Amino acid sequence: MSYREPDQNEYANISYAPETEFKTGIAIGSVSGWLGILMESQELPFKEVEFKQLYTAGHTESNVAAGQLPSQTIELKNTYRGRLNWIMQNRNLMEQIFGKLTTTTNTPTSYNTHVYNTGRADCMPLPSFTLAGWIDKDGDGYVEDIDKSMRFEGCKISSTTWTFNEGEELTVESEVAACSQSDQTAFPGALNEITTRPYQFTDGTLTVFGAVYARVKSGSITLGYNLEEKWYTNADPYDLKEKRAEITASLTLVMSGDDLWDLMNADPIASTVLQIDFVRTAAQDTFQLKSLKAYPNIKPAFGGGEGEVEVTVDFVLNDLVGTFIDATATDMIWGS
């Protein structure tokens, strides 16, 4: 075997395309919704087989007691689970994360407002998509029979976590499930590099009783539907069923004045709002995550150190709305 340089991560990428019907795969040449800036850890939903070994009392080999060795090994069912991790530059996969229902308005001037809701009847079932993974082994463009291209059909997002730290980009990690995989001999749709500046975490705010009162240093918000595979008569999943949504958040707050005491004494009522804002290129080019009901658990830390007083607050959220204000139209690959 001739010597080759090891394959390089920086030459790989991931793309997707919405499916018109669940498990109706998109042709590899049309899977053109590239995710853009990928984080280091990606796990495509490759097939994992559940094996079962069967034993027969009369099954023997030389010098082996009856029934000690399996008489045969069978394949029961296949599971396709993975994880995508990227830096947000646009509305990629947001429709698949939140659900189908969105509202779009042409305000403010020259911008569009896109609102993604959870918990609406129109949101379920979650829309499916075809996922493609590609690796250019030598960094010289896709070469058939040398480079690798994979397609995964009937994909759904099981859960998503947005993570933010002061002065850094907003990152997204999504757990994904699929129903099948296949090797491909062609390259996914034309690779169009996403050059839009990522969303930055600039000013996180927490509102209780209508008043903004805390600085947010870092945190995460998670939306999960706990997808469950249904196999029925298939070895591959026949269906991916969403369960009830679970929405949580965890924030590190820098406290000032009476903020801590106000938060510890706050009753979670309708005016307890968790709202985190992210800016991209301009004040009106933003992404906002908001819950109208936030139930806090406080973990205060007192004394003994230097610097600001930081407090961890974990929230159970009753809803989650994602609002984008950007200059993109509604006919983009990533949805409405």
pLDDT of residue 332: 44
Q: How far apart are CA 320 and CA 182, in angstroms?
A: 35
Q: Is 42 within the bounds of a domain? A: yes
Q: Is 53 within the bounds of a domain? A: yes
How many domains does one find in the chain? Answer: 1
Q: Is 34 within the bounds of a domain? A: yes
Q: Is 1 within the bounds of a domain? A: no
pLDDT of residue 51: 94
* Structural domain of 239: 9-326
pLDDT of residue 200: 87
pLDDT of residue 304: 61
Task: State which H helix or E strand residue 216 sits in.
Answer: strand 211-224
Q: Is 21 within the bounds of a domain? A: yes
Residues 6+ positions from 106 with CB-CB distance below 8 Å: 112, 113
Nearest CA to 150 out of 34, 23, 14 is that of 14
Token code pair at residue 157: 């997002």
Q: Is 293 within the bounds of a domain? A: yes
Give me the residue label for tokens 């998670």: 222
Q: How far apart are CA 53 and CA 71, in angstroms?
A: 8
Give me the residue label for tokens 């403010």: 108
Whether the CA torsion 178, 14, 16, 101 is positive or negative: it is positive
Q: Is 133 within the bounds of a domain? A: yes
pLDDT of residue 331: 45
In contact, 102 and 114? CB cutoff 8 Å: yes
Q: Is 2 within the bounds of a domain? A: no
| SS3 category, 20 | coil
pLDDT by residue for the chain (336 residues), tens only, comes to 567 677 766 778 899 999 999 999 999 999 999 998 998 888 999 999 999 998 887 766 666 777 788 888 999 999 999 999 999 998 899 999 998 777 777 766 778 888 898 877 777 889 999 999 998 887 778 888 788 899 999 999 999 999 999 888 999 999 999 999 999 999 998 888 888 889 988 766 677 666 676 678 899 999 999 999 999 989 999 999 999 999 999 988 887 766 666 666 665 555 578 888 888 877 678 899 999 888 888 877 666 667 777 888 888 999 999 999 888 766 444 343
